[in-house]
Structure formats: C-alpha cells, structure tokens
Amino acid sequence: MTKNRGDAMHEPEDKLLFQHKNAADVMGKTETEAADTYAEGYIGFLNRAKTEREAVTEAIRMAQGKAFVPWRQGMSFAADAGGTAARVYVNQRGKAVIFCVRGKRPLSEGISIISSHIDSPRLDLKMRPLYEEAGMAYLDTHYYGGIKTYQWTGIPLALHGYIVRKDGSGVPVCIGEEREDPVLFIADLLPHLAKTQMERPGKELVKAEDLDVLAGLRSFPGASGEGRIKRNILRILHEKYHITEEDLISAELSVVPAFPARDLGLDRSMVGGYGQDDKVCVYPALTALFAAEAPEYTACVVLADKEETGSLGMTGMQGAFFSNFIEDLAESSGEKARVILSQSFCLSADVNTAYYPLYPEVFDPHGEAALNHGVILFRYWGRGGKENTNDAQAETVANLRRILDDAGVLWQTGEGGQVDAESSGTLSRFFAALDIPTVDLGVPLLSMHSPFEAAAKADLYMAHRAFAAFFTRPGQ
C-alpha cells in the first residue's frame, strides 16, 4: 500500500501485488477540487439529457464552437488541408450520434473508438395511453429496460419526448422540469391496506400493468358523463402541442424522474441522479474527444440508443449506422473499411456495479470493484458461462493497462457480481464482432437502473482522464 512507498524493505512486494487503491487515500487536494469542478459540468449534462434525443441534441450543442461539421457522403476527411473537414459528426436520426476527429496517421492504421449508450431505463407511454377510470385520467405505460417496478411509485415524474403529427411536423415535449411545471406520479397502496401486496414476491409487488401515471381529475369545460376527464387532458395537450389523441400513436413519450441530479453525500463526494447508466461514461467520452487536438490516431465517439433493450433498431448498435460511416471514411481516403476496423481499438464505456457491503451475498468477495476506486476495466460478463460476452483478448487488455498506467489513471477491475448471479451486457460484443479489438472500461455505480443512481466524482473524473489518455495515446 502507499504508506510503504519509499521503504526499500517492502518495495519488491509492492511491485508483485496488484491492489485497488482508494481515491480517498491517493487523490490530493488539487485533483479532488478538479474532480468537483468537472462534476458540475456533468450534473448540468445529466439534467439536460434525460432521454436519447435530448442527449444527442446536448452532445451536438457541446460540440458547437469546436469546428465540428455534419458529415456528408463524399466529403474529404483530412488532417491537414485548409477548408477540409477534420472534425465531423453523424446525427443518426436524432437518437444516436458519432463524433470523429481526424488523427495524423492514415486511417488504415486504425482509429480509437469510445462507445457508450444514451438511453436509460424509464417508462414509455403506450400507443393509446390515455384512459379514464373512477373519475381519474391515467397514462398507460410499458417499461423500457430493466427496472424494479416498485421504485417508480410515489416519486415525482416528468414527461419527455417527441410527437410527430400526421403532416410530418414534430414537436418536442418536456413537462415537469421547470419549477412552475406540474409533475406526474404513480400512486402506490398505503401501508395500512398493503398486507397482501407486501406478501407478494418483489417482482410482483407493483405489476408492470399497474405502472400507470395519474394525469388529472378535472373535466372538460361544460362536459358531463364518462370521458370528460380524459377529454380535458386531450384539450390541454391540444392547446400546448396542437395534437389529437391519434397523434400519440406516432409519439415517443417517456416518463422519467422529475428531480434534478445533484451533489450526494455530506462530503459531496458523489453525484446522485437519474440516467447515469450510461451518461456517466458519455460525458467524459465527449469532454475527452473535444479536448483532443490533432491526435495521433483518428478519434471517434459513438453514442448509441437502445442498449437497454438489446441494441436493435436503426439507432441501436446492431444497426448499420456505424459500419456505414466507416465505409464512407474508407471511401473518402481510398482505404478498405475492413482494414480500418481490424486495426482500430475500441473502449466500450459502460457502467458496472460497485460492491455494496449491505448485500454481500450477490458479490464475489475477492474480485469486485468499489466506488471511489477509479474506472473499472472488465473483460467479460458472467452468467451461464460467459454467455453473450465479448471476453476481451489478453493483448487488448494489456494495451489498455499500459495506457492507463502511463497516464497515472486510478483504475480497478470488477466482476459485476457472482458468476451466476449477474445478467447483463454491454456494447463491446458488437464492436468486437466487427473485428475491432474491444475492452470494457467504465464507471462504478450504486443503485444502477434505479430512478436515482450514485457515482463517485473521483471515478467520473478518472473516466475523463482515462478517455483523454486513450485518445492521445502515442503511436505504436
């Protein structure tokens, strides 16, 4: 440990052992202050980017003033020539985005890629969400991603999303974030009447079909009888957004926690907030890329949608948008896409769980990551004999270790829970499937996939430093 440093007797042993270090012991005052300042920007990002569409808008806004231009097929992408695009982005249908900074080396020597996802667990509105029962209007939901249903009752909720009318015109929706906005809510049973409910297994404590959002009680002016409450809600939506009930069929509306992200802990050592899986990796990937001036290798950030539901669809990582972009780049430089891909290096930047001592039974007692111990390097996921996992190649992992250690980044390994306890996955397998050496490197979280997740500011800051070191790594 660090207290032995400089003691010649202990030096050989120090070198033999690999031990995780606590930021509380190794991060000085200046670096801790830098982590605090960095977290302020991140908190603002979290509050402005609760959905994938908002994250794309916010990421492109952050790129403004940094010479990024939209990529067009046939464009030239060169590091030197004046007037040539050297910093480009691809807005994939408003829900995924690629940013790319031209490096000094030919594309055929590979590019550095960091991939993260910008979707987070939430409750989506159904196609015909609005109904009325017992004098109350409700919005019916279908949950998105892995959630514990009971965590979504009794908290203030906001409505975010995008409605496209029949004529093709779109309107963004955001209700519940401004101080003067109303919020929404899912009612739960009072404890006095919950005897039978509390005896149900956790999964059925709140049934998915009971995650319906209370939307209002007042009637359409002058109306009477069944449906007057629902019609009044439609009247309000029409006044605000010029939409009818049918327009909700072509809408992507999500219910998310209404509270903002903020400092967490009496010592302000953490950030608490919704959607940190995976914005806690997205934000440092962006800040590291935007800071990379003329890197050795071309540097690329891919922010994907739909990771929480299997990475399918046009904006998910199993879609074609990333491969298409690489093909475009290859064409523009007269190279082969498959050569660029096979020479590249990808960090799949996603969160992993931190050990939590109150639930030791689900963790590996020897191999877990901890909050405040830096970024987590993980080669594989467990469950059923490493099913669905990338299982990063030893050579790739060694490369990453060198980059992290050369930059003095605090890092650790994590198993993500006991072998057969865990079921999850990241984007790494999709990049590895393109013949790109890929390894997972992310930030530990507590209460992952809950409406309010916790990350250590030190780990967030180390993610920025790790990603910056990755993008500016010297040539091999």
Specify which residues 303 forms β-bridges with: 97, 116
Structural element, H or E, at residue 130: strand 122-133
Closer to Zn ion by Cβ: residue 54 or 350: 350
Closer to Zn ion by Cβ: residue 220 or 356: 356
Closer to Zn ion by Cβ: residue 101 or 375: 375
End-to-end CA distance of the chain: 32
Binding range to Zn ion, per CB under 5 A, among 54-62, 125-133, 276-284, 298-306: 276-284
Q: Which residue is nearest to Zn ion (CB)?
A: 278
Number of neighbouring beta carbons within 10 Å of residue 205: 19
300 to 339: interface string for Zn ion, x by CB under 5 A: ----------------------------------------
Binding range to Zn ion, per CB under 5 A, among 89-97, 103-111, 143-151, 350-358: 350-358
Binding range to Zn ion, per CB under 5 A, among 20-28, 126-134, 271-279, 362-370: 271-279
Give the helix ranges, DSSP H, for 49-153: 52-63
Closer to Zn ion by Cβ: residue 123 or 349: 349
Closer to Zn ion by Cβ: residue 277 or 459: 277
Instruction: Give me the least distance between CB of 280 and Zn ion, in Å please.
Output: 9
Closer to Zn ion by Cβ: residue 58 or 277: 277
Closer to Zn ion by Cβ: residue 58 or 307: 307
Q: Are 71 and 100 in contact (CB under 8 A)?
A: yes
Instruction: Give me the least distance between CB of 152 and Zn ion, in Å please.
Output: 18
Give DSSP secondary structure letters for 386-412: TTT-----HHHHHHHHHHHHHTT--EE
How many residues can be counted in the chain? 476
Closer to Zn ion by Cβ: residue 276 or 343: 276
Instruction: Give me the least distance between CB of 175 and Zn ion, in Å please.
Output: 26
Distance CA 352, CA 36 (A): 22
Binding range to Zn ion, per CB under 5 A, among 136-144, 347-355, 357-365, 452-460: 347-355
Instruction: Give me the least distance between CB of 316 and Zn ion, in Å please.
Output: 13
Residue 58 is which amino acid?
A: E
Name the token pair of 239: 């006044």
Name the token pair of 391: 């299982």
Q: Which of 58, 277, 453, 459 binds Zn ion (CB under 5 A)?
A: 277
Instruction: Give me the least distance between CB of 363 and Zn ion, in Å please.
Output: 19
Closer to Zn ion by Cβ: residue 54 or 278: 278
Closer to Zn ion by Cβ: residue 115 or 219: 115
Q: What angle do CA 62, 65, 71 make, to 5 degrees?
A: 80
Binding range to Zn ion, per CB under 5 A, among 23-31, 61-69, 342-350, 427-435: 342-350
Exposed/middle/buried for 108, CB within 10 Å: 0-12, 13-18, 19+? Answer: middle
Distance CA 254, CA 271 (A): 23
Give DSSP secondary structure letters for 324-374: HHHHHHHHHHT--HHHHHHT-EEEE---EEPP-TT-GGGS-TTT---TTS-
* Cβ partners under 8 Å of residue 282, min gap 6: 45, 49, 55, 59, 116, 117, 118, 303, 349
Structural element, H or E, at residue 429: helix 428-432
Binding range to Zn ion, per CB under 5 A, among 147-155, 277-285, 319-327, 416-424: 277-285
- Give the binding-site size for Zn ion (rule: CB under 5 A): 3
Closer to Zn ion by Cβ: residue 350 or 453: 350
Instruction: Give me the least distance between CB of 307 and Zn ion, in Å please.
Output: 6
Under rule CB under 5 A, residue 350 binds Zn ion: yes
Number of neighbouring beta carbons within 10 Å of residue 51: 24
Please state, in angstroms and as integers, the Cα–Cα distance from residue 27 to each residue in 265, 356, 411, following that order.
Answer: 18, 22, 13
Instruction: Give me the least distance between CB of 308 and Zn ion, in Å please.
Output: 7
Instruction: Give me the least distance between CB of 415 and Zn ion, in Å please.
Output: 17
Binding range to Zn ion, per CB under 5 A, among 238-246, 266-274, 311-319, 344-352: 344-352
Q: Which residues of 361-391 are buried (b: 16+ CB within 10 A; e: fewer)?
A: eebbeeebbbbbbbbbbbbbbbbeeeeebbe
Instruction: Give me the least distance between CB of 350 and Zn ion, in Å please.
Output: 4
Binding range to Zn ion, per CB under 5 A, among 206-214, 247-255, 284-292, 349-357: 349-357
Instruction: Give me the least distance between CB of 275 and Zn ion, in Å please.
Output: 10
Exposed/middle/buried for 445, CB within 10 Å: 0-12, 13-18, 19+? Answer: buried
Instruction: Give me the least distance between CB of 77 and Zn ion, in Å please.
Output: 30
Closer to Zn ion by Cβ: residue 184 or 448: 448
Instruction: Give me the least distance between CB of 241 and Zn ion, in Å please.
Output: 31
Q: Are 386 and 378 in contact (CB under 8 A)?
A: no
Backbone angles phi, psi at 116, to 5 degrees: -140, 170
Show contacts with Zn ion in window 411-470 (CB under 5 A). none
What residue ranges bind Zn ion (CB under 5 A)?
A: 277-278, 350
